[in-house]
Amino acid sequence: MSTPRTASITRNTNETQIRVSINLDGTGQQKLNTGVPFLDHMLDQIARHGLIDLDIEANGDLHIDAHHTVEDVGITLGQAFAKAMGDKKGIRRYGHAYVPLDEALSRVVIDFSGRPGLEFHVPWKRAMIGGFDVDLTHEFFQGFVNHALVSLHIDNLRGENAHHQCETVFKAFGRALRMATELDPRSAGTIPSTKGSL
Ligand SMILES: [Mn+2]
């Protein structure tokens, strides 16, 4: 391994103060404290199933609701990925995963294309998971996509339980991230694009 693929980003606005550190070549270690327990539970899935170390601390305006915090964690995580990926030499670029959890099944496909694009198709069975508004899941991924500059296709194919639906999305996202960000030993450090840059 050459240069470590790590990044630390601090993002402060009047609505949220967020610090994100990641290691793409980690082991799934995590330290998560966003103030939104369900978001921490979902970020934990990314770390464990992506084998990406995540250290995330957020202090947001939760007295209003969790919207700004969830969206801004997605933005800051996206910025950290963009930075840690560097020039993207030797990466696999594309990643995909299907992940089930009991009755639920989701598919996530990602391309570190350098262009933002999100297709988000999750037919939620409930509006709330405990105190967590399921609409915020889209906001998280839109924030991530806009700043990581990836094409991301998320489809929940089946599911009766909204917690299961959401968890399969985040687990598949972690697995797809792992595949796309991993260095391909056959590529000899080239950039996987006929353009010569991503
Ligand atoms: Mn769970």
Q: How far is the CA of 81 from the centre of ligand 1 (A)?
A: 24
Using alpha carbons only, what angle is made at residue 121 by residues 91 and 134, rounded to the nearest 5 degrees? 105
Ligand 1 centroid from CA 38, angstroms: 8
pLDDT confidence of residue 2: 64
- The Å distance, Cα 103 to ligand 1 centre, comes to 13
- Statement: residue 1 has pLDDT above 70: no
Domains of the chain: 6-181 (3.30.230.40)
Distance 45 CA to ligand 1 centre (A): 9
Average pLDDT, the chain: 96
Going from the Cα of 41 to the center of ligand 1, the distance in angstroms, rounded, reads 7
Q: How confident is the model at residue 120 (pLDDT cuts 50, 70, 90)?
A: very high
- CA–centroid distance, residue 102 to ligand 1 (Å): 11
CA–centroid distance, residue 62 to ligand 1 (Å): 22
Determine the distance separating the centroid of ligand 1 and the alpha carbon of 167, expressed in angstroms: 6
Please tell me the distance between residue 164's alpha carbon and the centre of ligand 1 in angstroms: 7
pLDDT at 170 (0 to 100): 98
Residue 42 CA, ligand 1 centroid: distance in Å? 8
* Dmax (CA) of the chain: 51
Instruction: Kindly report, residue by residue over 21-55, the tens digit of the pLDDT.
Output: 999 999 999 999 999 999 999 999 999 999 999 99
Residue 3 pLDDT grade (very low, low, confident, very high; cuts 50, 70, 90): confident
- So what's the pLDDT on residue 90? 94
In the chain, alpha helices (H)? 37-50, 67-85, 135-148, 162-181
**pLDDT, position 79:** 98
Cα–Cα dist 107/92, whole Å = 18
What's the gap between Cα 103 and its chain centre?
A: 23
